[in-house]
Structure 1
Amino acid sequence: MNKLDSALLNILIKDARASFADIARQLDISRAHARARVQALVEAGVIEQFSAVVNPEKLGKVVSTFIDLRVSPVAIEPVAEELADCPEVVSLYIMSDLQSLHIHTLTDSVESFDAFVRERIFNRPEILSVDCKTLLARVKNRRGGARL
């Protein structure tokens, strides 16, 4: 990847709908060259998809919560797969200690979140501990990633 590709990616991160003509104008290259570079980045797997950034609050998802679970290592993958299928879970990561899950949930109310944890997390012997925090203010979003 070169400087041109980096600049092109920055344009697409800010606006995935930017046309090849817009990209070409901003980078002072031809439209055909802009199209070829985007296609090359897609084929190389650098660009995995083009997506929209959705504001969860506009969809009524106003409670953003981060959960850290410590799970029995033998159960970590089944628990992760089950929780990943829940509509409340917007991201889920298995951490490097191989016994922790880091989960981000979005719900429409504290009551919805409470129902989620009561149904999916509480009273499970394979879940050894829970640490949970609700977001107060978003200061910086991950560039190029969905907020949902």
Structure 2
Amino acid sequence: MNKNDTALLSILVQDGRASFADIARQLNISRAHARARVKALVDDGVIEKFTAVINPEKLGKVISTFIDLKVVPQHIESVAEELAAKQEVVSLYIMTDLRSLHIHTLTDNYEAFDQFAKNYLFGREEIISVECGSLLKRVKHRRGGARL
């Protein structure tokens, strides 16, 4: 990757629908070169996919909760896979201690989150502890991918 590729990725992070002509204009390169670089970045796996960023509040998903679970290490993968499949879970990470999961959920209301917790988190032998907090205010967040 070179300086133009980094700039190209920044353009696409801001607007995944930017045309090759727009990219070329901003980078002072030809449209053909812009197209070739995007294709190369896709082929190399640098760009995994083009997607839309959805505002969850516009869909009624107003409760954003972050959960930290401690799980019996032998069950970390199975619990992670099970929870990742739930519609309330928007992101889930296995942490470096190999017994912690960091989970972000979106729900319509606190009652829906409570039901999620009761159905999938509480009373399970493989889950050692649960800590969670709901989002009060977003100060900085990432949209579209890593900032380069």
Return the alpha-carbon distance in structure 2 between the equivalents of residues 139 and 51 of structure 1: 23
Unaligned runs of 5+ in 1: none
Residue equivalent to 2:20 = 20
Q: Which residue of 1 aligns with 2:3?
A: 3
Separation in 2, partners of 1:49, 1:141: 20
Pair 1:74 & 2:74 matched: yes
Alignment of 1:107 with 2:107, yes or no, is yes
Identical-residue share of aligned pairs (%): 72
Aligned length: 145
Distance 1:119 1:5 in 2: 46
Shift in Å at residue 143 of structure 1? Answer: 4.0
TM-score by length of 1: 0.96
Q: Deviations over 1:90-147 (max 9, x none)?
A: 00011000000000000000000000000000000110011101000111112424xx
Structure-2 separation of matches of 1:30 and 1:126: 56
Q: In structure 2, what residue type is equivalent to 1:59?
A: L
Note if 1:133 corresponds to 2:107: no
RMSD (Å), alpha carbons: 0.7
Amino acid at match of 1:42: V
Corresponding position of 1:93: 93
CA distance in 2, matches of 1:144, 1:63: 21
| Mapped partners of 2:111, 2:144: distance in 1 | 31
CA distance in 2, matches of 1:93, 1:117: 17
Unaligned 5+ runs, structure 2 = none
Q: Post-superposition, which runs of at least 4 consecutive aligned residues in structure 1 deviate over 6 A?
A: none
TM-score by length of 2: 0.96
Deviations 1:18-40 (A, max 9, x none): 00000011111110000001001
The separation in 2 between residues aligned to 1:120 and 1:143, in whole angstroms, is 28
Counterpart residue number, 2:59: 59
